[in-house]
Amino acid sequence: MSLQSFINRAISPWMQEEGPEHDIVLSTRIRLARNFADVPFPLMAREDQLEHVRDRLKHEFEGKTFLDNESLEYFNMRDLSSNESQVLTEKHLISPFLVERSKESAVLLSQNERVSLMINEEDHIRMQLYFPGLQLESGLEKAFKFDDWLEETIDFAFDEHRGYLTSCPTNVGTGLRASVMLHLPALTLTQKIGKMMPAINQLGFVVRGTYGEGTEALGNIYQLSNQVTLGRSEEDIIQDLNSVVTKLIERERYARNLLVEQSEYRLEDRIFRSYGILKHSRIMESKEAAKCLSDLRLGIDVGFINHLSTSILNELMVLTQPAFLQQYAKQPLSAEKRDVKRASIIRERLNLEEA
């Protein structure tokens, strides 16, 4: 399989599966940070030491399969064009920081895009496992198995008292960052989400918008993840995160029901207006696209719209990001040209579903 196949598909195969609580939870990601015991962290390592890290991981794991029977593909980041790197970033398979460090960094990607192992990011190893819907517990189990598999051959930097040693003190201990991507249109619409955030922070979790540089969570998509990595076991962290997510799901469902019951025709009108805009616009800014796609997805979830698949939000959110648009156009596009391309891709995609 080539790099192109990762680049060309907007949606990772696993995103098309419907995971638990998929009406609200789009995906779960488990990330573990690890370092080689005997090599300085990327911040202070020499070039030849980082090359050693890359070569070692390539040698041990390229072409190997783990659990899901899809082998790992290896790419040096410096061999990717900047647009290709950005596409992988827009799919959240790699971080912007990995791209910044492209002189030394690399990535191992499983063909089904369930596993991404970033090499020489802030730490030597950042393994990320992705799951559809809410799957924190089983996700952690798989991540542990993957970690054990790596540990069979690699000596990790570990200290009995501090745990897994990482470059940043915010990751030391478990090295775990568990995050859940949530679609919360009703809590956003009713302005409840802002009020819930301080309480969530107090529990050691953080909520951020997932997409865009804007002032709000584009597409009403939020990412909830843990901050504390030291002094609590991975299982405890996951359990707490799970209970916060469960609360959020409950509240979102409640708010959705209330909206449907009390807004009379207003919610339905809003949803079908957005549907109309998506179907017929010729110029579409990313912010408007995100708002309308969120409405559309809500319409599917509450039953106003029945003939579209739920993955359309995920898919079009990624597909309409700048690098993807340029990938499709096969050339760099000005902001205005991108808005035109975005509108046409959305129309095409909706026509495809309706056919």
Partner 1 sequence: MECSICNMRPATLHLTNYLNGHKSEVHVCHECALEHGYIEKHDEPYTIHDLLSGLFHHEYGAHSQPTQPSHTPHAESCPNCQMTYQQFVNTGKFGCAYCYDTFSQHLNPILRRVHSGNVEHVGKVPERQHVHLQKKRVIQSYREQLNQLIQDEEFEEAARVRDKIKALENGEDHREDERGADE
Spatial neighbors of 138 by CB under 8 A, at least 6 apart, are 131
The H or E element that residue 111 is part of is: none
Q: Which two tokens stand for residue 23?
A: 């009406």
Beta strands 158-159; 25-34: pairing state = unpaired
Residues in the chain: 355
Please give the structure tokens belonging to residue 267. 């919610």
- Binding to partner 1 in span 19-78, by CB under 8 A: 35, 37, 39-41, 43-45
Q: In degrees to the nearest 10, what's the CA dihedral of 329, 330, 331, 337? A: 0
Does position 225 interact with partner 1 (CB under 8 A)? The reply is yes
CA-angle at 184, arms to 98 and 197, nearest 5°: 75
| Contact between 6 and partner 1 per CB under 8 A | no
Compute how many residues bind partner 1; rule: CB under 8 A.
65
Looking at residue 322, the DSSP 8-state letter turns out to be: H
Least distance (Å) between residue 40 CB and partner 1:
4
Is position 46 annotated in a ligand binding site?
no
- Mark the segment that binds partner 1 (CB under 8 A) among 11-19, 173-181, 256-264, 283-291: 173-181
303 binds partner 1 (CB under 8 A): no
The yes or no reply on residue 137 touching partner 1 (CB under 8 A) is no
For the chain, the C-alpha Rg in angstroms (whole number) is 21
Looking at 18-26, 50-58, 62-70, 226-234, which segment touches partner 1 (CB under 8 A)? Answer: 226-234
Distance from the Cα of residue 147 to its chain's centroid: 20
Does 208 sit near partner 1 (CB under 8 A)?
Answer: yes
Among 67, 168, 258, 283, binds partner 1 (CB under 8 A): 168
Q: Which of 20, 63, 194, 332 binds partner 1 (CB under 8 A)?
A: 194
- Collapsed DSSP state (helix, strand, coil) of residue 151: helix
- For partner 1, which is the closer residue by CB, 72 or 180? 180
Q: Which is it for strands 163-164 and 176-183: parallel, antiparallel or unpaired?
A: unpaired
Q: Using the rule CB under 8 A, is 104 a contact of partner 1?
A: no
Euclidean distance between CA atoms 149 and 37, whole angstroms: 16
Contact call for residue 190 and partner 1 (CB under 8 A): no
With respect to partner 1, which residue has the nearer C-beta, 92 or 349? 92
Judged by the rule CB under 8 A, the positions of this chain that interact with partner 1 are: 35, 37, 39-41, 43-45, 92, 95-97, 122, 144, 147-148, 151-152, 155-170, 172-174, 176-177, 179, 194, 197-198, 201-202, 204, 206-209, 213-217, 223, 225, 227-234
